[in-house]
Amino acid sequence: MQSVETITALRAQVKAWRDHKYTVAFVPTMGNLHEGHLSLVKKASELADKVVVSIFVNPLQFDDKEDLSAYPRTVKADIQMLSSVGCDVIFTPSVDTMYPKGMTSHTHISVPDMDDKLCGLRRPGHFDGVATVVTKLLNIVQADIAVFGEKDYQQLLLIKHLVRDLNLPIDIVGGPTFRDESGLAMSSRNQYLSEKQRKQAAGLHQTLLAVKQNIERGEQDFSALQQDACNKLKLLGLAAEYVDIRRANDLGQAISGDKDLRILAAVRLGKARLIDNIACHLA
């Protein structure tokens, strides 16, 4: 496994692979890797001959400066973890490499239909930051496939939309959310939780499962289900930003009769903002 920091070195490696007719998959990350990331890298290595993983804590997508400086950076441990799961090249660009003229006057990519809902509403500028850095990374790596976690479902759809709208020649693939035995979705932000809070946080997934069961039993009043779930989360000590039942393909407001749904939530617990979502398909 090789580690490269510059765009030139990365492109030279990808070109050498292309000359050998190898296919390439790409997994963008912000580091501080856990089992969830590793499962995406394993998936990437099943889908292509060579795998690039990027580690870049993208300042442009942090709406809160504190959060950016506190974001855990564990590159040495990340590199060790990646060596066992089929990663061929780790790309670790600096902020200067990605934004040589700074970020204020940098071209921004915006995906309007994802900005105005759910996490987009609560984190102004966040998805522009994600869309901008992902567009850059996809152009830098020029892989055949890129893998993103379903844990960040809105982000996954945003990237599918931008790839469609900008005609980028790449397939975007989602990888399932990796959970611990309590059901808590793996996230770098779980590190901000104490042992007690981790146990509380498991209530998020349980609450989403209960919403799903109610829908599957025929409950059609989505707004009542959402409100009820927020109340339950509050009793568990989880401050809900939202619990929302949406159409899975575009995150539009779901209405009675829609079959392919996604139930999404964001909560605050101590220093952490946690998000989760599950699928709900009706026959």
Binding site for ligand PAF (CB under 6 A): 28-30, 58, 61, 130, 133-134, 152, 155
Contacts of 154 (CB under 8 A, 6+ apart): 114, 117, 118, 119, 120, 127, 251, 264
Give yes or no: 20 in active site.
Answer: no
Q: Which is nearer to ligand PAF, 10 or 280 (by Cβ)?
A: 10
List 20, 34, 37, 126, catalytic entry:
37
Pairwise CA distance, residues 63 & 48, whole Å: 34
Q: How far is the CB of 56 from ligand PAF (least distance, A)?
A: 6
**Distances from the Cα of 93 to the Cα of 28, 31, 35, 90, 214, angstroms:** 12, 12, 23, 10, 46
Q: Which is nearer to ligand PAF, 5 or 221 (by Cβ)?
A: 5
Q: Which is nearer to ligand PAF, 152 or 241 (by Cβ)?
A: 152
Q: Which is nearer to ligand PAF, 27 or 280 (by Cβ)?
A: 27
Q: How far is the CB of 102 from ligand PAF (least distance, A)?
A: 18
Q: Which is nearer to ligand PAF, 152 or 258 (by Cβ)?
A: 152
Q: How far is the CB of 46 from ligand PAF (least distance, A)?
A: 20
Q: How far is the CB of 48 from ligand PAF (least distance, A)?
A: 18
Q: How far is the CB of 126 from ligand PAF (least distance, A)?
A: 9
Q: Which positions are catalytic?
A: 37
